[in-house]
Amino acid sequence: MKGKVIKSTGKWYVVELEDGSLATCRIRGKIRLGKLRTTNPIAVGDIVDIDDKPDEEGKLVIRDYEERRNYIVRKSTNLSKQMQILAANVDMAFLLVTLRAPQTHLAFIDRFLVAAESFRIPTTLLFNKIDQYSEKELQRIDEIISIYTNIGYPCYKISGNKPEDVSFLKNLLKDKQVIISGHSGVGKSTLINSLDESFDLRTGEISRAHQQGQHTTTFAEMFKLAFGGYIIDTPGIRAFGIVDLDKEVISHYFPEMRALIGACKFHNCQHLNEPKCAVKAGVENGEIAPSRYDTYVQLMLEDENEIHRKKEIS
């Protein structure tokens, strides 16, 4: 029989079966990984095959999973170069952004967008806690929004703790399987609670010492929405490492660069030190935001292990 993984704790998986019932399952033996070096062979959103009969201990066993339409990953927190699959078979991604408590840096936004672009997952930016900002901070939010709307990413200003302020999102989420992500403390659980009154997800206080969340979500979990569809709440992410991408094609995942690379003098231009580079010219004439180009350069030059040692992307 088949089912959809809606919760993962690392060892046990809660699976929604085809009849709508829930079953707690485990993995027996080795699950095929293909070329992926992951810390979790099965992820939330996976469609899995389950043995029809329980094992000798009376537990249902996952024996395999169906080929994924896509998935979104981050680097593991250890130095093994492995990755963690955050979610599989994603229709849309929503990244929550806050200006403070905690601060979401532009490089973090860019890295998430590159990862989503590489798996062709449409992404929307939600600028949360908008009711808590000063006039100067609101102006900064508008400046940031202009960077991303100009290159095609939908952006919304919200107060996630007010159901009436986020009700418009229901039309975007209906009948889709979406992921909601961001740093710990940006308000993911609060937003989910506001979207569906039947939920009562635990929310955490912000650490005054570090202005970061308390990691109230420690594993990915999928919630079935009363109005149709699923929303995946992910663990709070402090740093987002790009994995499994050839540096030669990273520029293709920046939409504003993708539009210009055909005009570079050299077909294999890396947009760093080459002459007559259309991308560098785009930065100079304002077609490409300097912050976006800075992130691109970071991705091209950083050591693959460096992201593990960084506590924060600045």
Backbone φ and ψ for 12, nearest 5 degrees, come out as -115, 150
pLDDT in tens, 164-196: 999 999 999 999 999 998 888 899 889 988 998
Pairing relationship of beta strands 212-213 and 206-207 according to DSSP bridges: antiparallel
Q: What pLDDT, on the 0 to 100 scale, is given for residue 313?
A: 32
Does residue 102 have a cis bond before it (omega within 30 degrees)? yes
Q: Which residues, in sequence order, are bridge partners of residue 47?
A: 4
Least confident of 78-87, 131-140, 161-170, 270-279: 78-87
Looking up tokens 């829930």 gives 22
Nearest of 310, 300, 184 to residue 239 by alpha carbon: 310
CA dist 226 and 73 (Å) reads 27
Q: Would you give the DSSP letter of residue 38?
A: B
Is residue 17's pLDDT more than 90? yes
DSSP 254-271: SHHHHTTGGGSSSTT--S
CA dist 254 and 24 (Å) reads 40
- For 90, counting Cβ atoms within 10 Å of its Cβ (0-12 exposed, 13-18 middle, 19+ buried), the class is buried
Least confident of 50-64, 113-127, 274-288: 50-64
Residue range 274-279: mean pLDDT, rounded: 96
Residues 204 and 243 sit within 8 Å (Cβ to Cβ) = no
Residues 267 and 99 sit within 8 Å (Cβ to Cβ) = no
Looking up tokens 């929310």 gives 203
- Give residues with Cβ within 8 angstroms of 252, minimum separation 6: 258, 261
Residues 145 and 155 sit within 8 Å (Cβ to Cβ) = yes
Helix (H) or strand (E) holding 118: helix 106-118
Residues 75 and 84 sit within 8 Å (Cβ to Cβ) = yes
Q: Which domains does the chain have, with CATH numbers?
A: 2-65 (2.40.50.140), 71-233 (3.40.50.300), 247-309 (1.10.40.50)
Nearest 5 degrees, angle CA 7-CA 189-CA 186?
125
Is residue 126's pLDDT more than 70? yes
Three-state DSSP class for residue 62: strand
Is residue 244's pLDDT more than 70? no
Three-state DSSP class for residue 142: helix
Nearest 5 degrees, angle CA 188-CA 3-CA 116?
40
Is residue 117's pLDDT more than 80? yes
Three-state DSSP class for residue 246: coil
pTM of the predicted model, to two decimals? Answer: 0.85
Number of continuous H segments (helices) and E segments (strands) in the chain: 9, 15
How many CB atoms sit inside 10 A of residue 309's CB? 9
